[in-house]
Structures are given as structure tokens and as C-alpha cells.
Amino acid sequence: MKPDKEFPIRRVIDEDGQLVGDRSGVTDDELKEFYRWLVTLRTLDQRAWNLQRQGRIGTYPPFSGQEATQVGVVAALDRMDWICGSYRDWAALAYAGVPLYYPLLNSMGHPVSGNIPDSVQALPVQVVIAAQILHAVGLAWSAKLQGQDRVAVTFFGDGATSQGDFHEALNLASVMKAPVIFVAQNNQWAISVPISRQMNSQTIAQRSLAYNIEGVRVDGNDIIAVFQTLKEVAARVRAGKGPALVEAVTYRLGAHTTADDPTRYRPSDEEARLSHGEPVARLKRYLLGAGILGEEDFQRIDDEAKATVDEAVKTAESYPKSASETVFDHVYQDLTEPLKQQRAAFRQRVAEGGGQRG
């Protein structure tokens, strides 16, 4: 088998923004909306990085480079479909309807960032690599058992494919024919470990063969290709054809988190080479070349994105603090006797001014 031939990368616009595939099914208006989202999210991501550097938020995991995959996938879903992501998937959550100030609050250590609004069918982000993949299987399975017309989508990285939970999830989903879409965001790096040391397979998508499920590879920096692919895959999964594995080939443009320095391990020529095709600039080149948007539009979109992000920062920074004792509120539905005693002691400490730094 030649995996790169069996699982070719689907692509509609190339790195330079040239149309190289079939754009059907995606309207100009949809593209304009995608572009507006990509710019807003990129602006947010870069602002978050700067806010961390200014000490205004804590550790932050940037998603720059992965916006097209996350937005393109969610755009292809129905409103009631489940989304199960990880810490680098705030772009997906934001597009699904989570307020833009949530990722900022998350990095500021505000607990509300775990409480995804009821209107969005998504789990809160969690950090144990690959754990959420099994939750997606369970959610999809529960939808099937209850006769609900819902699929579950889970996002994870290339590093996650080395975990046991990845294997267990794909195997179980295949056996149960659970309507779940596994989206591997192959951004080439798991902190400092390149994909070549993560696996000796040529592609992630080829692993679908082992589970007898559908597997496809798509250019994760090409939002048109991602959106089209997911539309098709979701329709098959929704129709009861079983789960699917989508490998979105992308590139982590920046560091793992604000606490990481990729110059320690990542060659700069690779960065230069693989950054060129990044999703925002690529879509911009295409829109410009195709005459769908012009320079004035781009300026307006940039300005709007900046204003939107300014607003998100303002909301995050003025967000009411959570009362400290709420730490006891959501451990169990009802406070247990031991927790009642501990909360009383905690309250006492707070009342006496304890816990103040310095």
C-alpha cells in the first residue's frame, strides 16, 4: 500500500491562493463569512499571546494555523451535534457560539470558562491528551440509543494518536457503529516532538483501515476543502454508515503554549516553508485573486476584528470575579457532610482575610 496515494490530501486552493480543485457547494457569501471568522480568531489568538506577555492572562495555548480546520469542521455540523475538544480548540468552540472572552477567562483562571453556554453542544476543554475522544464516542452512542439525529465530533492532535484512548475509541466506535467523526489536527508537532517520532505511519488517516472505518486526508489550512470534506463525511456518519477518521494536515504556527519556546527544537526553515500556506493568508490570496473581496474589504474586516477582540478583552477583564467558596459548589450535586465542614472552615479563613498573597 502507498498511503499517500490511498489517502491523498484533498485541496481546493493551494498555498498561493490558486484554485486547484472543485469549489462547488461553497458560496461566495460563505467564504466571506469564513474569512471574517478566521481573521477575528487570528486577531484574538495574537492578542491573547500579547496579553500573556503583559501579565494580564496566564498560560495560553495558541491555535494560530488551525483556524481553518476548526471553523471548517464546525461549519459543516448541525446545531445539536456534539463537539468534544481539547485546550487548543477554542476556535472551534468560538465558531460554535462560545463567547470570545471565554478563552481569555480560561487563561485568567476563571471557572466560568468551563461552563459552556447551554446553546452550544460542546464539552468544556480538557487537557489530558486523547481523553475526550472516548467521550465523543459515548455521546454519539447515547444519541444513537436515544434515536437522536446527532453526531459527535472530536478534535485532537497528532500526539493524541499515540495514546491508548485513541485506539480504544476508534475501535469501540467502529464496533458500535457510533456516529462520531474523529478529527485529527496533524499540526506536525506535539510540543517538541515531530510527527516523524510520533508515528512510523505515513499518514494518520491510514489507521482507519485497521478499524474498518472511513478515513480521509484533507489540507487543514484550506477551509474550503475542510468544509466540503466534513459536509460529505458528516452526511455519511449521520446516515448510519459508522464513524470516520479525518486527518487535517496543518501546521502549528507558533509555540505549544506561551510557556514554550519552539526555537529550541524547531528548524526555522521548516517554519518559513510551512507557514507560507497558513489558512488566513491563503484564503485572503484566493478571495483577492478571485475578486470576491478587495483591499478595502480586508481593511474593514481587520478593523472589525480588532474592535470585536477589544470588546472581548474588555469583557474578560471586567468579568465579575467568582466567589472563592464556589470551589465547593460543583464537586457533587449536593454538598457532602465532609465538604460542608470544609467549606465552613474555608469561609472562616476568607472572612479573616486569609489567602491574600504577599
Nearer to other proteins, 275 or 315 (CB): 315
Mark whether 265 is an active-site residue. Answer: yes
Per-residue mark of binding to other proteins, 141-170 (x: CB under 8 A): xxx-xx-----x-----------xx--xx-
Please identify which of the residues 11, 252, 282, 286 carries the catalytic annotation. Answer: 252
Stretch that binds other proteins, among 34-42, 61-69, 122-130, 308-316 (CB under 8 A): 122-130
Q: How far apart are CA 142 and CA 131, in angstroms?
A: 17
User: Which pairs with CB-CB distance under 8 Å and at least 24 residues apart come from 72-75?
Assistant: 72/34, 72/223, 72/224, 72/225, 72/226, 72/227, 72/230, 73/153, 73/155, 73/181, 73/183, 73/226, 73/230, 73/246, 73/248, 74/153, 75/30, 75/34, 75/227, 75/230
Per-residue mark of binding to other proteins, 94-113 (x: CB under 8 A): -----------------xx-
- Count of CB atoms situated within 10 Å of the CB of 187: 24
Q: Does 114 bind other proteins (CB under 8 A)?
A: yes
Please identify which of the residues 256, 266, 285, 343 carries the catalytic annotation. Answer: 256
Q: Does 58 bind other proteins (CB under 8 A)?
A: no
Which residues within the stretch 321-340 sit at the binding site for other proteins (CB under 8 A)?
329-333, 336-339
Residue linked to cell 468579568? 319
Mark whether 300 is an active-site residue. Answer: no
Q: 3-state SS of 100-131?
A: CHHHHHHHCCCHHHHCCCCCCCECCCECCCCH
Phi and psi, residue 184, nearest 5°: -85, 115
Minimal distance in Å, beta carbon 334 to other proteins? 8
Minimal distance in Å, beta carbon 109 to other proteins? 13
Nearer to other proteins, 339 or 350 (CB): 339
Q: How far apart are CA 280 and CA 287, in angstroms?
A: 11
User: Would you say 180 and 104 are in contact if contact means Cβ atoms under 8 Å apart?
Assistant: no
Question: What are the DSSP E strand ranges found in 224-344?
Answer: 244-249
Residue 4 corresponds to which amino acid?
A: D
Nearer to other proteins, 261 or 329 (CB): 329
Nearer to other proteins, 171 or 315 (CB): 171
Which residues within the stretch 283-322 sit at the binding site for other proteins (CB under 8 A)?
none
Query: Per the structure block, which three cell numbers stand in for 284?
Result: 485572503
- Count of CB atoms situated within 10 Å of the CB of 114: 14
Minimal distance in Å, beta carbon 124 to other proteins? 5
Which residues are known catalytic residues? 252, 256, 265
Residues that bind other proteins (CB under 8 A): 82, 84, 111-112, 114-116, 118, 123-124, 126, 128, 131, 133-143, 145-146, 152, 164-165, 168-169, 171-172, 175-176, 329-333, 336-339
